[in-house]
Structure 1
Amino acid sequence: MNFENHCGQACPEQAIAETKYENCIKCRDRRGFNPAFYHANSVLTRQEKINQQPHFVYLAYFAPGAIKVGISQEKRGIRRLLEQGARLALKLETFTSALIARQYEAKIASLSGIMETVAASKKLGLIKHPLDTAAAEKTLADALVRIHHQLGLDFPNREFITCEDYFHTDGRDLSSVIDMTGNSTMAGTVVSIIGPILITDYDGQLLAYNVKKFIGYQAQAVDGAIDIAIPSTQLALF
């Protein structure tokens, strides 16, 4: 991904990235963007230009007991929240740079019960919890009270952001969704995507895939029937 023109392209070397990364080493260098810039000894000019743009601090709600703090470029709107699969969020404040926003993020992350990261593998379990909007709002409001009492921080310009409607879950019961992590074949009709988790309906069963695991690979359409492995069951894909 080129962060100047926001266009993506295939790896020129056609390299296979390590499992824990979305890009190979050379593509990471070309991109010149490090989301954890605050841990780096130095940053590239491209990264510095991004850091000097307005950034906002947010609290994101995923499920009961799972909220995180983060920062995002103001001009990206709610895209960062949707990419992560936040069900509801509280935008706290916009600051003039990523460096200032990061200072607030770090302070808030020091509080118990507020995470800085939520792994995609954990999100597969979190999406099984139906969203109770009232309870989610109360959870975020309670976190805001703790931030005020323990850190002395106030955010008078805060606003709630509802993300659930963008995921098109349409009231589906996701409690029995099947984790298809490790399966290289994606089967069924796409019904929803919650952050990195893509959900398909396959013969009445809901299957969940971490779509990030498919980035960088060529897709091949299958003509005819093949077998796919669903936990404890072998089904045919047509």
Structure 2
Amino acid sequence: MQVVGYQPLDPALLVTSDAADGGVERVPLARGADLAFSLGERHCAGALTADGHVACDAPAAPYCEAHRSTWVCARCTGTCLKDEMDCYQEHAVYLAAFAPATFKVGVTRLERLETRLREQGADRGAHVHTVSNGRIARELEADIARDVTDRVRVPTKVAGLHRRVDDEAWAALLADFDVAERFEFDYGLALADQPVPETLATGRVRGTKGRLLVLERETGTYAVDLRDLVGYELRDGASDRELQSSLASF
């Protein structure tokens, strides 16, 4: 079976079914679950459609050029990149905090605000604007992004998994905004030390935070970017690959 996707909420890996029918199955990533897979070859994960999975043998991973997609709205700054603007629902402009003191600005449809923050693994969130459509939201985002980043990379999130948000820095940022709603999330990881970044599918699930999976093994605690698993063939049986020990193992 091949990893062809993942779910950050109701966390799970999406893998191809053993049946040759294009079906997809979930491998739940609930806290306490034991994973015992070793990684095989990696190639394009193909595409997920309403009818199932479309396989692809191209060597590029996680997706080849034919199956790589870019959400055009993610690159919008208020000038629509589509043939016709279609984002007429109410949108929220938000600020998100990632421990200890990395802050980003983003936009999403209003009804998805809390979901979007959780998908990203944010520790805190603040709803700072409500507007009638996505174009206006992107214009506001671009303006705020002159001072606050609009992207936080995975290594930065891993580095803060065991940290708490700097309350003073967060409060100072929000002081310049009229905050409509605040959010605070606890992902239950309770880490004393930073996990070691790794790509593996063997260990006991400690929890997930956005697209980050935290696994425990004898040698320590490891942080796995779920996107880095996409495209890999999984083989039954725990990996015996030697891993770097985490600080917590000493």
Q: How many angstroms does 1:208 deviate by?
A: 0.8
More strand by share: 2
1:32-72 deviation digits (Å, cap 9, x = unpaired): 65421338873155xx43x2222111111102331111111
Q: State whether residues 59 and 140 of structure 1, in contact with CA within 8 Å, keep that contact through their aligned partners in structure 2.
A: no
Match of 1:205 in 2: 220
**Cα distance 1:207–1:32, how it changes in 2: closer, same or farther (>3 A)?**
closer
Q: How many angstroms does 1:197 deviate by?
A: 1.1
Q: State whether residues 99 and 157 of structure 2, in contact with CA within 8 Å, keep that contact through their aligned partners in structure 1.
A: no
SS of 1:127's equivalent in the other structure is coil
Matched, 1:142 2:184: no
**Cα distance 1:126–1:172, how it changes in 2: closer, same or farther (>3 A)?**
closer
Q: State whether residues 15 and 24 of structure 1, in contact with CA within 8 Å, keep that contact through their aligned partners in structure 2.
A: no
Q: State whether residues 56 and 93 of structure 1, in contact with CA within 8 Å, keep that contact through their aligned partners in structure 2.
A: yes
**Cα distance 1:11–1:120, how it changes in 2: closer, same or farther (>3 A)?**
farther
Give TM-score, length-normalised by structure 1: 0.70
More helix by share: 1
1:67 to 79, 98, 103: 103
Matched, 1:168 2:181: no
Match of 2:208 in 1: 193
Q: State whether residues 90 and 140 of structure 1, in contact with CA within 8 Å, keep that contact through their aligned partners in structure 2.
A: no
Percent of paired sites with the same residue: 22
Show structure 2 runs of 5+ residues with no match.
6-47
Match of 1:95 in 2: 131
**2: distance between equivalents of 1:34 and 1:15?**
29
Q: How many angstroms does 1:211 deviate by?
A: 0.7
Matched, 1:123 2:170: no
Q: State whether residues 56 and 71 of structure 1, in contact with CA within 8 Å, keep that contact through their aligned partners in structure 2.
A: yes
Q: How many angstroms does 1:168 deviate by?
A: 2.3
Give the number of the structure with larger relative contact order, counting CA–CA contacts within 8 Å between residues 6 or more apart.
2
**1: distance between equivalents of 2:140 and 2:109?**
15
**2: distance between equivalents of 1:76 and 1:17?**
35
Match of 1:5 in 2: none
